[in-house]
Amino acid sequence: DQQVKQNSPSLSVQEGRISILNCDYTNSMFDYFLWYKKYPAEGPTFLISISSIKDKNEDGRFTVFLNKSAKHLSLHIVPSQPGDSAVYFCAINDMRFGAGTRLTVKP
């Protein structure tokens, strides 16, 4: 029973453009949705979260959108930078993670 799905295993964008990472979930009974970033040989680090009562949360270059009717979550990074190249995981607050999307930002 995979409650969090990231259907795109990888994404490649040009530096300066927008990166959009997507996540779908199956159960509506959660308080928070979170995005984590993971570099090789490191543990995941928290990036941004959104409460289930909101539809948007912004922090600098990172914005998370929540579409509750579609049970869809997206992370927008703009402008994308080469240092953003990492694996991004979405997660729900009962500690379940999506499969991850590997983002590559090309200079």
Residues that bind another protein (CB under 8 A): 32, 34, 36, 41-46, 49, 89, 93, 95-100
Q: In whole angstroms, how close is the CB of 16 to another protein at the nearest point?
A: 28
* Of 43 and 83, CB closest to another protein: 43
- The DSSP letter of residue 94 is T
Tokens encoding 104: 């590559």
Distance of CA 16 to the CA centre of its chain: 18
Q: In whole angstroms, how close is the CB of 49 to another protein at the nearest point?
A: 5
Residue 65's DSSP bridge partners are 56, 74
* Of 15 and 52, CB closest to another protein: 52
* Of 42 and 69, CB closest to another protein: 42
Q: In whole angstroms, how close is the CB of 86 to another protein at the nearest point?
A: 13
How many CA atoms are closer than 13 Å to the CA of 6, on its beta-carbon side?
A: 26
Residue 28's Cβ-count burial label (10 Å; 0-12, 13-18, 19+) is: exposed
Q: In whole angstroms, how close is the CB of 90 to another protein at the nearest point?
A: 10
